[in-house]
Amino acid sequence: MQPPRKLLDQVRGAIRLKHYSYRTEQTYVHWIRRFLLFHNKRHPRDMAVPEIEAFLTHLAVHEQVAASTQNQALSALLFLYRHVLHQALAAVDAIRAKPSRYLPTVLTVAEVMAILEQMTGVHRLVLQLLYGSGLRLREGLTLRVKDLDFAQRQIGIRDTKGQESRVTMLPLCLVEPLRHQLEHARRLHPQDLEAGYGSVYLPFALERKYPHADRQWIWQSVFPAERRSIDPRRGAVRRHHLDESGLQKAFKRAVPAAQVEKRVSCHTFRHSFATHLLEDGYDIRTVQELLGHRACNFEF
């Protein structure tokens, strides 16, 4: 008889069953662990709403976290009780963190171009996609070959935040650079296959439904990493997509070099994409659809 799985392993299993992203898994496990440590490692079955409220209040009052951070912690704890412990909870009424009134920074077209001029190679191309197609950073990095439709000049975004697929524009000026990028990726793929690798992660149990699809060209990453590494969930050695840390470091160097004196990140290119479309006369609903937002939520 196998021993019962540890609580955090149960959490990981429930998250993977629902096909949440690896980043969400890491975040939820982090907050649940913090919750347990805050209450001296008591089992959550022995706690309920009062303990949750005490933890969330501590985050708001003593740690002064942002409202979004507090909401993130609450989401993790609700997941724990609903989907792992299967325990119903009453309404949670903690002291709420003060909502941020921070307005997203928007770059001018000239500032966008100045930053891009300081970027080179694949990092430049990814940033061009964020600005030209309105992608989130992770959406750009995790694009697969099948997602690019050069004939229709569209990009399909399928493994998205909130798991809602959408289609966005593919600028004409990026068609040839993307074709060259695919040529680079295509050279790596047969090398991996010959070495006994070449398999990629497939979402939503497609790996079982289509046993050999994980080695097919259309499922490969548009922006493959230069080296193979271990899949943190499966333990398999694979060539993952380009890591975001390298791009973010290059971006941080490019901003001051471009003499842009604004607080910006890679995500700022997505804000700028939306703002510039609105300034060019696109209606707000169309922009929302390109961004993958519902009509009631126009936060970037």
Q: Mean pLDDT, the chain, as a whole number?
A: 91
Mean per-residue pLDDT for 264-285? 95
pLDDT at 129 over 80: yes
Question: Domain spanning 109-291: which superfamily?
Answer: Intergrase catalytic core (1.10.443.10)
Q: How confident is the model at residue 76 (pLDDT cuts 50, 70, 90)?
A: very high
pLDDT at 57: 96
Q: How far apart are CA 104 and CA 119, in angstroms?
A: 22
Q: Give the number of C-alpha atoms closer than 13 A to the C-alpha of residue 29, restricted to the C-beta side.
A: 18
Residue 37 clears pLDDT 50, i.e. is over it = yes
Class of domain 7-84: mainly alpha
What percentage of the chain carries pLDDT values higher than 90? 77
The confidence score (pLDDT) of residue 204 equals 64
Which pLDDT score, from 0 to 100, does residue 8 have? Answer: 96
* Predicted confidence (pLDDT) at residue 193 exceeds the cutoff of 60: yes
State the pLDDT confidence band at 22, using cuts at 50, 70 and 90: confident
Global pTM reads 0.81
Number of residues that make up the chain: 300
Range of lowest pLDDT (14-28, 107-121, 152-166)? 152-166
Amino acid 183 reads E
Does residue 21 carry a pLDDT above 50? yes
Nearest alpha-carbon partner for 34 in 61, 50, 14, 54: 54
Q: What is the pLDDT of residue 160?
A: 58
The predicted pLDDT at position 162 comes to 57
Q: What CA–CA distance (Å, rounded) separates 125 from 246?
A: 14
pLDDT of residue 294: 59
Contact 284, 294 (CB under 8 A): no
Question: How is the beta sheet containing 154-157 ordered, strand by strand?
Answer: 148-149, 154-157, 166-169
Please say whether the beta carbons of 96 and 70 come within 8 A: yes
Cα–Cα distance measured from residue 68 to residue 66, given in angstroms and rounded to the nearest whole number: 5
pLDDT score of 19: 82
8 Å CB contact between 157 and 165: yes
pLDDT above 60 (res 297): no
- Tens-place pLDDT, residues 100-123: 766 789 999 999 999 999 999 999
Beta strands in the chain (DSSP E): 148-149, 154-157, 166-169, 229-230, 237-238
Q: Is the pLDDT of residue 229 over 70?
A: yes
- Higher pLDDT pick, 176 / 197: 176
E-state strands within 129-207: 148-149, 154-157, 166-169
List 154's β-bridge partners, or say none. 149, 169
- Write down the pLDDT at residue 300: 37
pLDDT of residue 163: 60
- 224 DSSP assignment: B
pLDDT at position 161, please?
A: 60
Q: Report CA-CA distances (Å) from 200 to 52, 131, 171, 215, 216.
A: 39, 27, 27, 7, 9
- pLDDT over 50 at 168, yes or no: yes
The domain ranges of the chain are 7-84, 109-291
pLDDT for 299 beyond 60: no
> DSSP 3-state assignment of 90?
coil
How far is it, in rounded angstroms, from Cα 14 to Cα 85?
10
Mean pLDDT, range 172-196, rounded to an integer = 95
